[in-house]
Amino acid sequence: MGEERKREGETAESFLAQFLPELVELLSKFESIELEDVELYAERLALEFLPVAPAVAPAPAPPKPLELLMEGFEEPVMTYPGRVLEVKLGATRSEGGSRGRVVVIGGETCPPFYLFESPPPHRPVITMDVFDTKVPLPKAYKAHIKDVMHDPAEWAKRHVEKFGADMVTVHLISTDPLGEDRSPREAAKTIEEVLQAVDVPIVVGGAGDPHKDAEVFKYIAEMAAGERLMFSSVTLDMAEAGTLEPAAKAIAEGGHVVLAFTPIDLNLARELNRKLYEFVPRDSIVMDLTTAALGYGIEYSYTVMERARLAALMGDKELQHPMSAAPSNSWAAREAWMKEEELGPEWGPRELRGPLWETLTGLILLLAGVDLFMVGHPATARTLKEFIDVLMSRGKAKGADIENWVSASLG
Amino acid sequence: MSRAAKEISPIEIYKYLPKTNCGACGEKTCMAFATKLANREARLEECPELLKPEYKEAYQALWEILKPPVREVVIGSGEKAVKVGGKYVMYRHELTYHNPTLIAIDVEDTLEPEAIRKRVERVQATSYEYIGRLLRLDGIAVRCASGDAERFKEAVRTVAEATDMPLILCCLDPDVLEHALVTVYERKPLLYAATRENWREMAELATGYKCPLAVFAPGDIALLRSLVKTLLAYGVEDLVLDPGTFPGEGFSDTLNNFTMIRRAACKQGDELLGFPLLGVPAVAWLEEAPRELKAWREACMAAMLLARFADLLIMHSLDGWVHLPIMIWRENIYTDPRKPVSVESGLRTFGEPDEMAPVLVTTNYALTYFTVENDVKAAKLDCYLLVVDTEGLSVQSAVAGRKLTAELIADAIRESGIEERVKHRYVIIPGMAARLSGELEELSGWRVLVGPMDSSGIPKFLAEKWPPEEEA
């Protein structure tokens, strides 16, 4: 009987300690006045209230546990009313195209890589950049493609065959009316050549002019009907210029996909999607919410993408589209391309700094929910693939592998 | 149970306030103060009334409502003490993240004292100027690899003499740890770590020397909770959680464990998991790979752990190309999403520009502006800088998102009064805005010179291209 009461007493003590940690904290903090890391309110509270509470004599310290107090853990799984739409890119012969490989992105039912809820239904994919004309590119970027940069088809082949790209993006920079102003027909020829050179799905990139891009997109959408290309990108500028409707219609009629670009603003993203729903099936829209590079506003991109994905899962139908991002933008960061002598020798060679900059921009946005990455450097493509592989499944960790990391020689 | 910041309404807080509108807190009304409290922009102690005995219950109720679901723990002492944890939300957009992740670099006790001093010196010397701020590394983690008490003690002493940064003492043998701890306990190092085997001795050290304690339960959150519960009952309050950072394939479990722990704390009020999280990207160096690849993977793991809730990191690499992106990403993710990172738009003057001084254009995104400002100042240029309101976007993003257009620049030129200050009509726009030049010439009537892609090229550009040939 006595034994039992003692046990009960102990249980009560540890119960108190568990449920009133603030109380325990308060007392012990008051006892140890030399402790510097006191939370201000706790300290003030103790000092202010002590005079009116003289009964706060040191309570008998709870007995220290002799054994580990065992606890369980239930994985904090939630359910979500919404899910992200699946979008298929590329089409095989039997589907009306000519691709040997197609990819499907999206379909998520929980936040990015919350595998304890459900594994992502599809791997995020990588599309690598090809330009149809000379563009200024940093040295570390060019190192692996220098010999093929004059030929988009060869360049595309290099990406697919050597660097393992899932897709290729052809940026039709030469169509810029403020630049070379090449015709839609010439642009279409380039796309045709790339389609013949590789058998992966293709992204068609414009030059950023709302009138010209629409013309080019329309022409190519008709020419390559059935290929399920993705057109990068359609914008609210096009809507303003009155070119969104014809472009979107032609893209939809050709059975292709649009990439809807908006500048880091969920309301604008919704607005553009609403406009697109009139012409384009919902399963043919991918969103580009703008990729700002690491150090150049990436936190805005990260947060807007994270919010978009959470909203989609919570049932916001206007945001339930897969997301695309362009880590290749990060080559604009001076920390990525600058020579050691200029940036400071302590920051290491740009041959490592540059691709790492692009890689980290990609990995960070991977965790915000991006499904499709536009990438420039092969090291970025490879590292993203490596980590995507790792993140697709769990249960591989072995405690024994790291339990002695403290005493290991790390070299 | 603590609650996510979003769930707390000012009305709920207001109920407990004195409602006197005395203004002592600096706000005009108690309601305004309640709003600030709900937004975590004010502290309870700023209300003197609340600290009076008659408000004891109200104060306690508010303290319960407002405490962060992730406890704040201090590592180090004096001016170099660093707060970790103290997180109110799981997602950055729900409020903001408080207390930037502490980044410590490891030092192995098997190194010679001279090598240890060099390593510490390197860590201390690391700094990068970014948006007018100096980015630095924050601490040293001394690891006992020798298993030798004397050796570890010497290493800890050497480090402690070389730096006043916060320390983490990593040694799973409590006797060896204490041998070193006696020399530096006043610095309040983080003790690493309590495990299933050693928790009682570690708890004695933490309470006896009043130091924060890390809890290490690799891949086992149930064990982690058990250890926390036990240590709390033992009287150790300042805990840091290490659920294990696994290299290679196991890294997926690491991110999932970090995510589950933070969700349990922030969304479900699990107080046993409401402590700062420690990630150890240094484990990348346990794998067989070339040196650079290990450093590369360590950087990748560190960046992802920063995104997935790590409040402290222990890293091994000494390479600047690893530190630079990690320090910058930490700076980025800890900015307050409620505050636009922009500067005022308008015309700025550098040096003593005359009527033939160049006129440069940039955006009002703070980073863009300060980068240009630094470059212009460093080169001691006499010039005008027209800062266009792009709603806080950089040149590249603003051009793509039509926040920097020919029309906006033309308007800015007109409204700035620059036309009265200079005799020429040449404006220099950023290289990344080159495509706007034609339209801008039409709209503004000014000739457009396309400047360099990066503002570091401005001095060279001006040396070669200014004054423009027609005027020369």
In 3D, which of B174, B204, B169 has the Cα closest to residue B185?
B169
Nearest to B244 among A235, A394, A397 (CB): A397
The last residue of a domain, from among A23, A45, A71: A71
Whether residues A61 and A175 fall in one domain: no
Residue B40's pLDDT band (boundaries 50, 70, 90)? confident
User: Is A306 within a domain?
Assistant: yes
Name which of A20, A28, A71 to mutate to probe chain B: the one with the most chain B Cβ atoms within 10 A of its Cβ. Answer: A71
Q: Which of residues 241-300 of A touch B (CB under 8 A)?
A: 261-264, 290, 292-299
Work out the burial of residue A299: count CB atoms within 10 Å of its CB; fewer than 13 is exposed, 13-18 middle, 19 or more buried.
buried
Question: Could you read off the pLDDT of A147-156 as tens digits, one per residue?
Answer: 999 999 999 9
CA distance linking residue A235 with residue B138, whole number of Å: 44
In 3D, which of B198, B275, B266 has the Cα closest to residue B243?
B275
B83: phi then psi, degrees, rounded to nearest 5: -90, 135
The last residue of a domain, from among A11, A46, A71: A71
Name which of A11, A66, A346, A389 to mutate to probe chain B: the one with the most chain B Cβ atoms within 10 A of its Cβ. Answer: A346
Mean pLDDT over all residues of chain B?
Answer: 93
Distances from the Cα of B350 to the Cαs of B47, B346, B378, B448, in angstroms?
45, 13, 11, 21
Whether residues A272 and A239 fall in one domain: yes
The last residue of a domain, from among A71, A94, A126: A71
For residue B238, is pLDDT > 60? Answer: yes
User: Is A130 within a domain?
Assistant: yes
User: Residue A75, Cβ neighbours under 10 Å: how many?
Assistant: 13
B337 at interface of A, judged by CB pairs closer than 8 A: yes
Find the residue in B nearest to A406 (Cα). B143
Give me the helices (H) in B311-405, please: 320-333, 366-378, 395-400
For residue B9, is pLDDT > 60? Answer: yes
B374 at interface of A, judged by CB pairs closer than 8 A: no
Residue B470's pLDDT band (boundaries 50, 70, 90)? low
Note the pLDDT of residue B392: 83
Whether residues A107 and A221 fall in one domain: yes
Whether residues A123 and A250 fall in one domain: yes
Whether residues A20 and A162 fall in one domain: no
For residue B120, is pLDDT > 90? Answer: yes
User: Is A401 within a domain?
Assistant: no
Q: What is the DSSP letter of A162?
A: I
Residue by residue, DSSP assigns A37-96 as ---HHHHHHHHHHTTT-TT-PPPPPPPPPSS-------------S--PPEEEE---GGGT
Contact A185, A224 (CB under 8 A): no
Dihedral over alpha carbons A272, A273, A278, A282 (to 10 degrees): 160
CA distance linking residue A290 with residue A324, whole number of Å: 9
Residue A46's pLDDT band (boundaries 50, 70, 90)? very low
Whether residues A59 and A97 fall in one domain: no
Q: List CB contacts (< 8 A) between A18 and chain B.
A: 229, 232-233
Query: Looking at the DSSP assignment, which residues form a beta bridge with residue B384?
Result: B349, B359
Query: What number is the ipTM of this complex?
Result: 0.86
Note the pLDDT of residue A8: 40
Over range A306-331, report the average pLDDT.
97
Q: List CB contacts (< 8 A) between A114 and chain B.
A: 256, 259
- How big is chain B, counted in residues? 472
Inter-chain residue contact B63 with A45, CB threshold 8 Å: yes
Domain that holds residue A20: 1-71
Residue B337's pLDDT band (boundaries 50, 70, 90)? confident
Contact A113, A367 (CB under 8 A): yes
Inter-chain residue contact B401 with A68, CB threshold 8 Å: no
Contact B104, B141 (CB under 8 A): yes
B118 at interface of A, judged by CB pairs closer than 8 A: no
Question: Could you read off the pLDDT of A108-147 as tens digits, one per residue?
Answer: 999 999 999 999 999 999 999 999 999 989 888 898 999 9
Contact B70, B39 (CB under 8 A): no
User: Is A79 within a domain?
Assistant: no
CA distance linking residue A293 with residue B434, whole number of Å: 20
Find the residue in A nearest to B252 (Cα). A391
B127 at interface of A, judged by CB pairs closer than 8 A: no
Lowest-confidence range among B298-312, B336-350, B413-427?
B336-350
Whether residues A57 and A176 fall in one domain: no
Q: Which one is predicted more confidently, B446 or B80?
A: B446
Note the pLDDT of residue A63: 84
Residue by residue, DSSP assigns B265-290 as HHHH--TTS-S-BEE-GGGGGGS-S-
For residue A38, is pLDDT > 50? Answer: no
Which domains does chain B carry? 5-66 (1.10.15.40), 72-333 (3.20.20.20), 346-465 (3.40.50.11600)
For residue A37, is pLDDT > 50? Answer: no
Inter-chain residue contact A405 with B280, CB threshold 8 Å: yes
Inter-chain residue contact A41 with B292, CB threshold 8 Å: no
Inter-chain residue contact A64 with B234, CB threshold 8 Å: yes
B59 at interface of A, judged by CB pairs closer than 8 A: yes
Inter-chain residue contact A364 with B220, CB threshold 8 Å: no
Residue by residue, DSSP assigns A215-255 as HHHHHHHHHTTTS--EEEEEEHHHHHHT-HHHHHHHHHHTT
B105: phi then psi, degrees, rounded to nearest 5: -105, 140
User: Is A76 within a domain?
Assistant: no
CA distance linking residue A333 with residue A335, whole number of Å: 5
Find the residue in A nearest to B236 (Cα). A25
CA distance linking residue A80 with residue A290, whole number of Å: 26
Whether residues A199 and A306 fall in one domain: yes
Over range B267-289, report the average pLDDT.
96
Contact B212, B240 (CB under 8 A): yes
The alpha-carbon gap from B336 to the nearest alpha carbon of chain A, in Å, equals 10
Inter-chain residue contact B235 with A65, CB threshold 8 Å: no
CA distance linking residue B37 with residue B26, whole number of Å: 13
Whether residues A105 and A55 fall in one domain: no
Residue B397's pLDDT band (boundaries 50, 70, 90)? confident
CATH number, residue A144: 3.20.20.20
Nearest to B199 among A68, A113, A297 (CB): A68
A9 at interface of B, judged by CB pairs closer than 8 A: no
Inter-chain residue contact B256 with A48, CB threshold 8 Å: no
Over range B87-114, report the average pLDDT.
96
SS (H, E, C) B214-236: EEECCCCHHHHHHHHHHHHHHCC
Nearest to B246 among A21, A44, A402 (CB): A402
Contact B72, B99 (CB under 8 A): yes
Q: List CB contacts (< 8 A) between A335 and chain B.
A: 324-325, 328
Give the contacts of A14 (CB within 8 A, at least 6 positions apart): A62, A65, A69, B233
Note the pLDDT of residue B366: 83
Q: Percent of chain B scored above 70 by pLDDT? A: 98
Over range A232-260, report the average pLDDT.
96
Over range A19-42, report the average pLDDT.
37
Whether residues A191 and A267 fall in one domain: yes
In 3D, which of A349, A339, A130, A374 has the Cα closest to residue B454?
A339
For residue B132, is pLDDT > 80? Answer: no
CA distance linking residue A339 with residue A348, whole number of Å: 9
Note the pLDDT of residue B3: 54
Query: What are the helix and strand counts (H, E) for chain A?
Result: 16, 10
Find the residue in B nearest to A366 (Cα). B304
What is the amino acid identity at position A153? A
B349 at interface of A, judged by CB pairs closer than 8 A: no
Contact B149, B179 (CB under 8 A): yes
User: Residue B230, Cβ neighbours under 10 Å: how many?
Assistant: 24
User: Is A291 within a domain?
Assistant: yes
Contact A41, B44 (CB under 8 A): yes
CA distance linking residue B312 with residue B332, whole number of Å: 16
Nearest to A360 among B249, B300, B402 (CB): B300
CA distance linking residue B221 with residue B217, whole number of Å: 7
What's the structural domain count of chain A?
A: 2
Whether residues A118 and A238 fall in one domain: yes
Predicted model pTM: 0.86
CA distance linking residue B13 with residue B1, whole number of Å: 16
Over range A166-195, report the average pLDDT.
96
In 3D, which of B339, B78, B26 has the Cα closest to residue B188?
B78
Inter-chain residue contact B401 with A290, CB threshold 8 Å: yes
For residue A11, is pLDDT > 50? Answer: no
Distances from the Cα of A326 to the Cαs of A267, A291, A292, A293, A350, in angstroms?
21, 6, 8, 9, 20
Q: Which one is predicted more confidently, B147 or B374?
A: B147
The alpha-carbon gap from B145 to the nearest alpha carbon of chain A, in Å, equals 4
Q: Which one is predicted more confidently, A7 or A411?
A: A411
Q: What is the DSSP letter of B431?
A: G
Whether residues A247 and A297 fall in one domain: yes
Going by their DSSP bridges, the two strands B383-388 and B346-350 should be labelled as antiparallel
